[in-house]
Amino acid sequence: MIRARLAEVQLALMLLTRLPAGRLQDPVPTIAASAWAFPLAGFVVGAGAALAFWLAAMVLPLSLAALIALGVQIALTGALHEDGLADLADGIWGGQTPARRLEILRDSRIGSYGALALLLSVALRWQALVILASHSLSATLAALVVIAMLSRVAPVLLLALLPPARPDGLGHAARSVPWSIVIAASLIALAPGILPWVPLAPLVVILVGQGLVSVLLGELARRRLGGQTGDVLGAGQQLAEMAGLLVLVALVGM
């Protein structure tokens, strides 16, 4: 049992990060079975970004430190989620039929919609981190970790909500995620709330907001593509991360 769970965590790290995670031994877990561990991969990514932010803030202005932290976060994932966001933006708005949109998703070239989506994503996250850090650097470091975990519930939710849009690819390989996995991933993502310096209420608000964004994205993907793909999952994480940061900025400003 423990060995199987560890293998699922290992697979989650292999799928969602570019960190060396070793080689899986038989029996290899399915992607659907490992989806509960996606927030744990987010913890690793968020912790790396928070460490970079903390070190950079010692010698650089907060605006530059925030950009470095964001760059480290992107490097740790190999820009996997950013790539999904760009591809989805090009496909959703650049094709006239579901078949054509799916074809565009597989095109490695980036179009104007994708470029604009990436620009807005990076700019929004960067400015949100700067605003948050201007109020409290320590709270922002914690937020980097927590939101990295919470935002990785979004792909799990999308896998539970949507059928695969094509008969191959990551979306098809990860099909049939039960709701018990969604609940498990959500509870793991909320686990930092047990720490006395991490208030649970904002985490729940963020998770609910991210869930609503994911449902809206899922409905858009269903109508425009016929279901989910790996790009839809990556875009879901990006939109959830942006939504989480926006909620925090709004809470700080209240």
The 10s digit of each residue's pLDDT in 67-116 is 999 999 999 999 999 999 999 999 888 777 888 888 888 877 888 999 99
The H helix count followed by the E strand count for the chain is 13, 0
- Joined tokens for residue 172: 């098809």
Whole-number mean pLDDT of the chain?
A: 91
Dihedral sign for Cα 129, 132, 138, 141, please.
Answer: negative
pLDDT above 70 as % of the chain = 96
pTM for this entry:
0.93
Conformation bin of residue 175: beta by default, left when phi > 0, alpha when psi is -120 to 50: beta
Q: What are the angstrom distances between the C-alpha of 13 and each of 37, 151, 158? A: 8, 15, 19
pLDDT bracket for residue 237 (50, 70, 90): very high
